[in-house]
């Protein structure tokens, strides 16, 4: 089992309401943030990016500790991308003006759009890329003059709190960025349904996204949803073989497969006598077996543990169900020996063959280090297989 690393607040609906009121006050007509020019807000985002950059090693360590991902991955990807998000929107905003259209006819006129802040933006962010996706939502909301109340995942709360503290160093006025911790069905629901939250941005599972959309629709809130998927990688027999194997191993098992963009079903062209399919699967399995599963703080680690015991249980259940459906585990499918030695929620990179394209595992997002492989003859079949449901 894992061990407790710390404690985090479990915010109530009343806590959320208090944060929303502070955020609402921070964007009132006479507030410092509302009076700032666009250029000044862009500069504030750049200062915040600079602050994160100076703290990059500490943020990477916190992200690795919360999520279980390798420190090397957090340092090379998560935190640099978080910094880049802030700088990207600071650079984009001055050029994101409204469109102008000339309407001709008896009553010739000009129609134009003007971009204005909506007020308080609610953010609900996931555990797989905590600061990366937090900043992806935060930056455009702030640069357009809004305030934010954010609820990060209760599994990975640390970097959101650290960023909120850093806003002071970036001279972002108090109340503009607010973080409430807690469970989705309490704090998250209170945030999404609060009448003073004008826009909601949510990243997470599809079922939860449907519930968020239903709550937001009752008040006609502006809404952005980034939900789950079941991504297919299609491999033809004329590919650059070695590069393709390496690329798909990375796209399948990066961050222990806990990214919505990960390849989770691999469609491979058969070739004459299934020769290409067999060659590719053999090379892919060998490469997956070569990945080093280990401590997140070890420089040689390719894959750390998954995020929680509950998520590990879900992954194990999915593999067992696939085997019951006739799937053949070509590698992995179990916890590595080091799991009992180190503790933590480790699971080996897993490749499963022999399932139909419409089987449960081939159609359901696992969000872990588990992929299925499926042969196909031609382009028509390659398109049909992933769209069979």
pLDDT at 178: 98
Residue entry with tokens 């002071």: 168
Q: What is the mean pLDDT of the chain?
A: 95
Residue 361, token pair as written in the block: 């595992």
Q: Which of 61, 226, 356, 381 is catalytic?
A: 226
Q: How do 100-103 and 109-112 pair as beta strands?
A: antiparallel
In tens, the pLDDT along 45-92 reads 999 999 999 999 999 999 999 999 999 999 999 999 999 999 999 999
- 268 within 8 A of 280, measured Cβ to Cβ: yes
Number of residues that make up the chain: 389
- pLDDT higher than 90, residue 211: yes
Which pLDDT does position 259 carry in this prediction?
96
What is the structure's pLDDT at 1?
Answer: 56
Quote the pTM value. Answer: 0.94
Q: Are 372 and 322 in contact (CB under 8 A)?
A: yes
pLDDT of 389:
67
Round to whole Å and give the CA distance between 328 and 285.
Answer: 12
358 or 348: which leads in pLDDT: 348
Task: Compute the C-alpha angle 85/223/127, nearest 5°.
Answer: 50
Relative to beta strand 120-124, strand 222-226 is unpaired
Main-chain phi, psi angles of 270, to 5 degrees: -70, -50
**pLDDT at residue number 206:** 93
Residues 1-30 have a mean pLDDT of 92
Q: How confident is the model at residue 271 (pLDDT cuts 50, 70, 90)?
A: very high
The residue among 367, 371, 368 whose CA lies nearest residue 287 is 371
Q: Is 298 helix (H, G, I), strand (E, B) or coil?
A: coil
Does the active-site annotation cover 226?
A: yes
Left, alpha or beta for 262 (phi > 0: left; psi -120 to 50: alpha)?
beta
What confidence tier does 43 reach under pLDDT thresholds 50, 70, 90? very high
What pLDDT is stored for residue 148 in this prediction? 98
- pLDDT at position 387 is 86
CA distance 151 to 154: 8
Name the catalytic one among 42, 167, 260, 262: 260
* CB 267 within 8 Å of CB 233: yes
Q: Alpha carbon 344 to chain centroid distance?
A: 22
């Amino acid at each position: 089992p894992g061990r407790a690393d710390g404690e985090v607040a479990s915010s109530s609906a009343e806590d959320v309401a208090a944060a929303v009121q502070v955020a609402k006050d921070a964007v009132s007509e006479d507030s410092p943030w509302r009076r700032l020019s666009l250029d000044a807000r862009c500069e504030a985002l750049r200062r915040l990016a600079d602050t994160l950059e100076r703290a990059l090693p500490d943020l990477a360590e916190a992200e690795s500790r919360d999520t279980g991902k390798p420190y090397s991955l957090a340092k090379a990807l998560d935190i640099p991308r978080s910094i880049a998000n802030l700088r990207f929107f600071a650079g984009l905003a001055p050029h994101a003006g409204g469109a102008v259209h000339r309407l001709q006819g008896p009553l010739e006129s000009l129609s134009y759009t003007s971009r204005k802040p909506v007020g308080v933006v609610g953010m609900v962010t996931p555990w797989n890329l905590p600061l990366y996706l937090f900043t992806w939502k935060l930056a455009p909301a702030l640069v357009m003059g809004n305030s934010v109340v954010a609820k990060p995942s209760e599994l990975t709360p640390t970097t959101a709190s650290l960023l909120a503290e850093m806003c002071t160093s970036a001279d972002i006025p108090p109340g503009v960025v607010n973080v409430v911790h807690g469970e989705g069905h309490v704090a998250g629901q209170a945030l999404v349904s609060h009448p003073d939250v004008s826009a909601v941005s949510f990243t997470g599972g599809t079922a939860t996204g449907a519930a968020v959309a239903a709550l937001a629709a009752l008040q006609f809130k502006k809404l952005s949803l980034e939900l789950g998927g079941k991504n297919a990688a299609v491999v033809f027999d004329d590919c650059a073989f070695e590069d393709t194997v390496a690329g798909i191993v990375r796209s399948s098992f990066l961050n222990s497969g806990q990214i919505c963009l990960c390849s989770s079903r691999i469609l491979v062209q058969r070739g004459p006598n299934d020769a290409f399919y067999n060659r590719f699967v053999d090379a892919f399995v060998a490469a997956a077996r070569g990945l080093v599963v280990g401590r997140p703080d070890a420089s040689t680690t390719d894959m750390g543990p998954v995020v929680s015991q509950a998520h590990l249980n879900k992954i194990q259940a999915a593999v067992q169900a696939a085997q019951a459906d006739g799937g053949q585990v070509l590698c992995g499918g179990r916890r590595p020996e080091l799991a009992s030695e180190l503790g933590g929620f480790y699971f080996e990179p897993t490749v499963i063959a022999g399932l139909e394209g419409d089987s449960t595992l081939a159609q359901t997002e696992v969000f872990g280090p588990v992929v299925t492989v499926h042969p196909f003859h031609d382009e028509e079949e390659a398109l049909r297989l992933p769209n069979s449901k």
